[in-house]
Chain A
């Protein structure tokens, strides 16, 4: 049984969306910092932060501080705001991306998204890792056949020599999948049933109410 304090995927998605809106409504640096800390702490206590994100944040800070006109404290405050917003969005987004995509797709279909689109989403999540391993294999095959993959001109070469094998495998994959899905009656009726229902608990409703209140509060306060 799912614990009643676990949020539905869709609620989590709404939370992230509302959170990002609030980030832009709020201007106060202290509140912004407080808002940023929530997903940041939730993320770093569970996952490793890539260096890329931090370097990118520093670059954004630098560019903003450099190009904004005004005295130093204004410059720093302005750039800090931008960076906190950026990191808030990135970390909340990354948190959400760690959610089970299957659950999210099913939650959407439960809320009325036509199953053709919902199942396409599921299929996409199923295929992405396959395509990425396939690209890696093609790259390895190129290196083994003496294509040098270092430097800019070689990058172009690699793209050129990756395209056809990749497209060909994709087409073959599409063929097999069509057979597999049609063979199991995908698309026979306008509706389809779902084994699992994605449930909205009382906690979900309470949470959504809370987020709505937070959004309204932030809006009213910034006026």
Chain B
């Protein structure tokens, strides 16, 4: 049992957590809240990872002893943690080794280890993954393996820190089912930190919201409503004609799509269905068959450098597309490369970044970095903007801010969240079997 009594945590001069009181006892508890509200800090505090950082008052008790006084390794055996990015927490090369990792560290006998691997895999519904190499797994499968590897240690509590933010809708539901099963079948408490609470809410024993560092108990969560806007659709800007691409397998099988000026086209589909590949073809990063036209001109035989000014792209990971050492320079980076004269200040203001102009962009929050990426593309006003899962790890408010920034732009965006798609996209397609199928949400 975990008991948090009047716990506050301060980092620098800022109180990140204020007077938290919470008990976790064989329950499924869901904590939601905005980015930066302190959810992850709470998770790390409970797992004991912040004991040497910052300053705190109050106490966190585990089985009646203060966790500050419990050995970290001992605590780790009772409180496990599953992180956001499944890729980042896997440290071995095959599934069984990964699940065995903790048990082997704890010097369990090979027989016991094997038994627990089988047990943990059966709970997460991953028995078929047993022989696989970790790098060949999909995002959802990786997350299942990560969960199994914690589960195998049979802790009393597992903390899930936004475990589905990198996953598509179906996989999200599946992981949520796994989490509820863990509580039911293995009798392990689950503390789930998640802003996609819709898929888990009904299973939760208690539901909380983190607001500026304080924890508020909620009976029924308020539904999210995005504010979309009307769009007058114009002439075709981007046309895909029979675009076909294969690595070893056929990924895109004759994709046809016309995107008109001012449209926002949403592309959905399971992880690995080829959504990113489609965007890479439009950027001419890949050698595809068929034809792609921008403003009625074929770009088939042009180099990426030649079309980059007309087609902007925002990649998945914001850190991979920040190149300068101040926010202002970064915002001007692409425009300077394309020799576009542009006053960047209003754009930075729209993105809520004007006060950080001289700051190092890597020190911005995740949401701010994402907006900076978008400003950097908006600065040279390309005809089409491609966005690859821009909403990963972004809360409701940040999503709204991103979409407000993109108002009046022609966009093709890969996304997972049907609520966002419904609010902002003029048309939504599912990429399935290498082809686009229009869907109504």
**Interface positions of A (Cβ within 8 A of B):** 101-102, 119, 122-123, 125-126, 129-130, 134, 137-138, 140-150, 161, 164-165, 168-169, 172-173, 176-177, 179-189, 191-197
Contact = CB atoms under 8 A, between A and B. Distances in A.
Top 4 A-B pairs ranked by shortest CB distance?
A146-B337, A184-B102, A176-B88, A180-B89
Nearest to A130: B87
B304 interface: yes
B110 A193 contact: yes
B201 interface: no
A161 B361 CA distance: 14
A53 to B, nearest CB: 24
B319 A193 contact: no
**Residue from the set B91, B109, B150, B153 with the largest chain A CB neighbour count within 10 Å:** B91
Contact of B104 (A147, A164, A182, A194): A194
Interface of B: 47, 49, 72-73, 76-77, 80-81, 83, 85, 87-94, 96-97, 100-110, 113-114, 117, 134-135, 146, 149-150, 153, 280, 283, 285, 304-305, 308-309, 311-313, 315, 317, 319-323, 325, 333-334, 337-338, 362, 376, 380
A187 B334 contact: no
A134 B320 contact: yes
A165 B88 contact: no
Given A179-B49, A182-B76, A192 B376 contact: no
A182 to B, nearest CB: 7
A125 B93 contact: yes
Given A164-B323, A184-B150, 8 more contacts: A102-B92, A126-B135, A146-B309, A150-B305, A184-B149, A185-B106, A193-B104, A193-B108
Contacts of B81: 179, 183
A122 B92 contact: yes
Contact of A101 (B93, B107, B110): B93
Contacts of B107: 189, 191-193
A140 to B, nearest CB: 6
Contacts of B97: 102, 122, 195
